[in-house]
Structure 1
Amino acid sequence: MNMEYVKLPSGKIEDILHENGIGGEGREERLDSSNGGDNNRQSGDSDGDGGAAFVLVSKGTWWHAGFHLTTAIVGPSILTLPYAFSCMGWTVGLLSLSMAGAVSFYSYYLMSRVLDNCEKNGRRHIRFRELASDILGSGYMFYLVVSVQTTINMGVSIGSILLGAECLEVMYSDLDPTGNLNLHHFIIIVAIVMILLSQLPSFHSLRYINSASLFLSLGYSFCIAIACIIAGYSSEAQSKDYSLTGSRIIRVFNGFKAVSIMGTTFGNGILPEIQATLAPPATGKMLKGLCMCYGVVVVTFYSVAVSGYWAFGNNVRDNILENLMPDDEGVALVPTWLLVIAVIFILLQLFAIALVYCQVAYEILEKKSADVKMGVFSLRNLLPRLVLRSLYIIICAFVAAMLPFFGDINALVGAIGFIPLDFILPMLLYNISFRPAHSSMIFSVNNLIMIIFTFVGIMGTISSVRQIVVDAKLFKLFSTTVI
């Protein structure tokens, strides 16, 4: 996600100066007054909490939250949805996708309600781990959530770097089939760009990048959908077969794997941190942001899933782009330029996605390393930020180069991470916070969702482990081919 495509509106200069610690003392007082004196809502601001003061600074509007949510949810993982449909068929696939979308929206809405309720009672939480620990009252829960969340965020960052490098490699191999550059070189290139972009100090400072990310996701989704329609009507296209393949047990495993894919695709895992970027009071703002996000979700998810499965049936691969690329004999079903545009859009959005999911790691790193008494761009805070964030990206890039078969591992991470955090824990937190009557509909619905997705998470984990075992013979450390 190259910074060159992000243009800052001139009307925001005062905000930028203020964010960089340049002037604005009087403006700070006005903001504090307009926020009901809640401008220092994070207790860490006065306790040396650099993560709260710098990374999770609260200045955003509901549409900024919508940009962040869209970037966190709508990504290239939607290219796996046609494959998920091939494991289920039309009816179950459409029903499962709709149910996953409805449940995830409901879950995020409940999470927002819980955060609003805590804020109303004088405890505004800006971190998932602190919210869970406060409501569940367990020190173990704090460490459990931070471990799962960190694993998810690092997994998404590694996957984004690997997929970004693969996008560059695809374009390079098309321009120079005999070139000497391989996957590792492109991982280094992506990591360097990520290091540069990672110096943006706060989550809120990503709002322009994430607004562009929203339009990029719409762009490549439309390109893929159009390409699938062209391929489906091509005279070179294979005959379409929508029947489920494999034995009964294989179909069962594939079905749960598909549900796990859908759950992971709708995954977020950082909603409290996104809500933390809202200028207080945040009450009601996240619902507007969620509506914006899910408007994009409906357009992108269904267009890619339906068109991809319609075009290729049960011959669809786990990434629809693989079906659309020219085959070994050079036969292409769709214009190359259309795929090039889609790949470029995907590459650019991957930078935004990685930046969003890196914020939790950066917040943890700067919680103690930053000095809140100094300016955000003071040398005292600039050097630790540069070193720690660069080191984090280098570690992610190294793992991406070492494990170019990360897709199977990421599926496992999604099953044991995204599903508990996004489909189970929010319902539990809501039931404990609001204590709905046991005879009420909402209590029954929440418990039913928790039971169903606990089972789905367990089966998704088993299916993911099984897939890792099946593919293990293909794994090779530091391979230059992505599996």
Structure 2
Amino acid sequence: MESQGREDVVGCSGAGGRVHSDGHIDIEIPETAHQISNDSWFQAGFVLTTGINSAYVLGYPGAVMVPLGWIGGVIGLILATVVSLHANALVAKLHDFGGKRRIRYRDLAGSIYGGKAYSITWGMQYVNLVMINVGYIILAGNSLKAVYLLFRDDHVMKLPHFIAIAGLACGLFAISVPHLSALRNWLAFSTLFSMIYIVGGIALAIKDGFKAPPRDYSIPGTKTSRIFTTIGASANLVFSFNTGMLPEIQATVRPPVVENMMKGLYFQFTVGVVPMYAIIFAGYWAYGSTTSSYLLNNVHGPIWLKTTTNISAFLQSVIALHIFASPMYEFLDTKYGIKGSALAVRNLSFRILVRGGYVAMTSLVSALLPFLGDFMSLTGALSTFPLTFILANHMYLVANRNKMSLLQKNWHWLNVVLFSCMAVAAAVAALRLIAVDSRTYHVFADI
């Protein structure tokens, strides 16, 4: 048996999977059409960091800080960071549960609970990923519209037009990149684009902040509306660390998978959160309660810099969407046996038809209801809370119940109950926000 960290194929599983040596035990690998066990922990860490520093960060100053204020926003972000690291670590440690790598979130839930949980988890994850992708297309469309308005003020082209253009770009990228591991070189570009709009946004916000009169940092709205927006903002807090596809990312990591994934998580929740914190606090400091749901709509400065930051946000959204769509791509590619060369006629045709159709559908939803902040709240309530917090704690509790002390069991049950209550409250608040916005704006709104 080879030393730890090197894959050693020693046999075959019944479903055509492989068995590799991971430290001191043999771990079975499930059948999949995509590449697994190829990437370093550093690449996995960059995939995770790409998610939290995606163009969504441009919406957090308005979606998180405005409803919560300085005290609630700062404390909330710190707490969200800690509890998200804890919950993701629990999922990462269950990756080789039962002597088999669980390369999909639904596989992990099914192995612990049974077949019904497999289907329910897949349904929740599908909703989670679709809504995240809808948000990315809205963001990409907003970025293109912002560029358009820098050069023209005729308003001939509306937000739905830019969402359609963004959807086309996302579709072409999805067709060109066959699987998650193939993003390796694109992650460098994603990081570059993130740094451009984060550093550019911070610089422009700080410049505006020093020139502006004293800002109003009070929480806007009536007493009743503030209750709902505060609850919705709590869902946005956890949405910012949304990794409801952690097993799928962990599947790409070389053995030892648990140790390497933990390194990736520590990278995400230390180095990775610094840019996100910086732009959230700088944006809110500069504009206070008037901070918009897309920070680059607030900033003033040279046209070339604003153009560059918006184009970078657009390009990064295209790459990030592919990350969160990859579990669905893997499911379909595996089901229909899409293997071998990415340029093979059958494989290329399949990606054009299936991935192109999926992106077209999400683009249509994005154009119909382009309420970014509301989608973040609803996604957090319906899927981020259950997948990332409730399910993670309960799966770990069930899988290790014979090894835990009473205190440890009570801690995990406390998390399950607490986040279940928060999920219900956040869902009600998010649905109310969508209902209010739907009365204000018509479908295909230009907001």
Query: What TM-score do you get using the length of structure 2 for normalisation?
Result: 0.88
Q: 1:274 aligns with which of 225, 234, 249?
A: 249
Aligned partners of 1:369 and 1:384 also within 8 Å: no
Match of 1:134 in 2: 111
Deviation at 1:266, TM superposition (A): 1.2
SS at match of 2:272: helix
**Which position in structure 1 is the counterpart of 2:367?**
401
Match for 1:337 among 287, 304, 308?
Answer: 304
1:180 is displaced (CA, Å) by 4.3
Matched, 1:227 2:204: yes
Question: How far has the Cα of 1:276 moved from its partner?
Answer: 0.6
CA 1:431/1:445 → structure 2, altered by over 3 Å: closer, same or farther?
same
Q: Which moved more, 1:256-265 or 1:466-475?
A: 466-475
Identify the range of structure 1 (415-424 vs 277-286) with the bigger mean alpha-carbon deviation: 277-286
Aligned counterparts of 1:193 and 1:45: Cα–Cα separation in 2? 35
Shift of 1:56: 4.6
Cα deviation code 1:148-169 (max 9, x no counterpart):
1111211222221222122112
Conserved 8 A contact 1:158-1:396 = yes
Structure 1 pair 42–393 and aligned structure 2 pair: CA distance change class (3 A) = farther
CA shift, 1:132, in A, is: 0.5
Out of 246, 251, 268, the residue aligned to residue 293 of structure 1 is 268
The one-letter amino acid of 1:162's match is I
1:137-152 aligned within 5 A: 137=114, 139-152=115-128
**CA–CA distance in structure 1, aligned partners of residues 14 and 7 of structure 2:** 13
The answer to whether the 8 Å contact 1:194/1:351 transfers is yes
* Alignment partners' CA distance in 2, 1:217 and 1:474: 32
Secondary structure in structure 2 of the residue aligned to 1:55: coil
Change (3 A) 1:382 1:40: farther
- Does the 8 Å CA contact 1:225/1:307 hold for their aligned counterparts? yes
Contact map agreement 1:56 1:273 (CA 8 A) in 2: no
From 435, 438, 442, the counterpart of 1:472 = 438
Report if the CA contact (8 A) 1:427-1:446 is conserved. yes
**What is the DSSP-based 3-state SS (H/G/I as helix, E as strand, rest coil) of the residue aligned with 1:459?**
helix
TM-score, with normalisation over the residues of structure 1?
0.82
Gapped regions of structure 2 (runs ≥ 5): 19-29
Question: Partner of 1:260 in structure 2?
Answer: 235
Q: Which residue of 1 aligns with 2:406?
A: 439
Give the letter for the 1:112 counterpart: A
How has the CA–CA distance of structure 1 residues 215 and 105 changed in structure 2, closer, same or farther, with 3 Å as cutoff? farther
Counterparts of 1:106-185 in structure 2, within 5 Å, are: 106-116=86-96, 118=97, 121-137=98-114, 139-178=115-154, 180-185=156-161
Cα distance change, pair 319–187 in 1 and its aligned pair in 2 (3 A): closer
Q: Deviations over 1:276-307 (max 9, x none)?
A: 11133413000111122223433122212221
CA deviation string 1:166-220 (max 9, x = no partner): 2112212322333744434433332332222213211100122123223332332
- C-alpha RMSD over aligned residues: 2.6
Q: How far apart, CA to CA, are the structure 2 residues paired with 1:149 and 1:44?
A: 26
1:204 to 181, 193, 208: 181
Alignment CA distance shift 1:443-1:45 (3 Å):
same
Aligned match of 2:9: 37
| Structure 1 pair 346–375 and aligned structure 2 pair: CA distance change class (3 A) | closer
Q: Post-superposition shift, 1:248?
A: 3.6
Q: 1:61 aligns with which of 40, 49, 52?
A: 40
Which sections of structure 1, spanning at least 5 residues, go unmatched? 1-29, 325-331
